Structure 1
């Protein structure tokens, strides 16, 4: 009876090198997802020189209860109609000083886009997804109106101008030109989105 030969040995000397190369490969090619937040620029804390009086008609109140229902200006509103209502408020031009406004010029609504404030109030039990959806619709209202004015003045959407301006690869000279255009549109419809203190038990 013949003896079986010993099984061939596997050379494991380079296995560590191969594992290291695979590790490097996966580290380089893997994308890590990051949580998307809300892009908000908070104003510096500066005491006002004089007391600012804000008329109630210049405040657009949006309340979200714990069930995700919207109460806009004391009226129950479907979330799909929120953007149009916010645009109508911002674009109203009630005091006649806004030359570019195309709203109804209702004297009982906002006087001017520069004076219009959107106030958002949530319940402590409001779902985060509902909160984000409402925020998106309100910011979308500003963007729609800014896009309209950017098209009128520069034949481009405001969102495109802003994206090009914020792109780090944009030429510095071009960036200066874009900065002026972006600021001009932002001044026409300044984003005044205020968050009131969160309530509970609504």
Structure 2
């Protein structure tokens, strides 16, 4: 029988199977890094039945304008002083009910940490880097106060305890012991950081 001319045909039927297996391999083995983001509680779907009256002195206002300037309690403030001002507000203990507060007990400032609220408002044209820096300074104020109380009660920093508690590799028995301590410190200085509606520059 005479031999037919031309190049021999290549059976490509299994190529699709190989490509599919490679695709599955890369999907399974590839890790995608994700940002942790900001830990914030959203407001409830339904407003509370009782109208809660908040005294103005229990609200620490922080405004960021379009140029990245800070107005803290209506005073132009350098961002390096923001954390100290926030600590002074949170730790004030104006009504005398806070036995662990070490502030000035100024009657014109916050009554106690449980009532103290930090209100942050920014302009739509505020740079994201400035916004994050301000957020970090405010959270650092809470962490410094929590670290102080954790050292007083448990001889270790709160941030270390919280990191260990949130670590997925921490044994369950250790987590249960840490949970009570972490929640106790959080109640001493609850993080009440509210973001007001963003303003628009004219």
Same fold at TM > 0.5: yes
Task: From the superposition, tell whether residues 124 and 163 of structure 1 become closer, same or farther in structure 2 (CA, over 3 Å).
Answer: same
Tell me what 1:188 maps to. 188
RMSD: 2.2
Give the gaps of 5 or more residues in structure 1. Answer: 1-15
Q: Deviations over 1:63-111 (max 9, x none)?
A: 0000000000010000000000000000000000000000000000000
Q: Name the CA distance, whole Å, in 1 between partners of 2:93 and 2:183.
A: 20
Task: From the superposition, tell whether residues 32 and 68 of structure 1 become closer, same or farther in structure 2 (CA, over 3 Å).
Answer: same
Tell me what 1:47 maps to. 47
- Name the TM-score, length of structure 1 as normaliser: 0.83
Q: Using the TM superposition, give the Cα deviation of residue 32 of structure 1 relative to its aligned residue in structure 2, in angstroms.
A: 4.4
Q: Deviations over 1:105-129 (max 9, x none)?
A: 0000000000000000000100000
Q: Using the TM superposition, give the Cα deviation of residue 41 of structure 1 relative to its aligned residue in structure 2, in angstroms.
A: 3.2
What SS does the corresponding residue of 2:60 show, helix, strand or coil? strand
Q: Name the CA distance, whole Å, in 2 between partners of 1:132 and 1:178.
A: 29
Q: Name the CA distance, whole Å, in 2 between partners of 1:171 and 1:43.
A: 33
Q: Deviations over 1:122-176 (max 9, x none)?
A: 0010000000000000000000000000000001100011111111121212211
Q: Name the CA distance, whole Å, in 1 between partners of 2:44 and 2:197.
A: 19
What SS does the corresponding residue of 1:137 show, helix, strand or coil? helix
Q: Name the CA distance, whole Å, in 1 between partners of 2:131 and 2:46.
A: 28
- Name the TM-score, length of structure 2 as normaliser: 0.83
Tell me what 1:111 maps to. 111
Please say if 1:89 is aligned against 2:81.
no
Tell me what 1:132 maps to. 132
Q: Name the CA distance, whole Å, in 1 between partners of 2:66 and 2:192.
A: 24
Aligned length, in residue pairs: 183
Tell me what 1:61 maps to. 61
Give the gaps of 5 or more residues in structure 2. Answer: 1-14
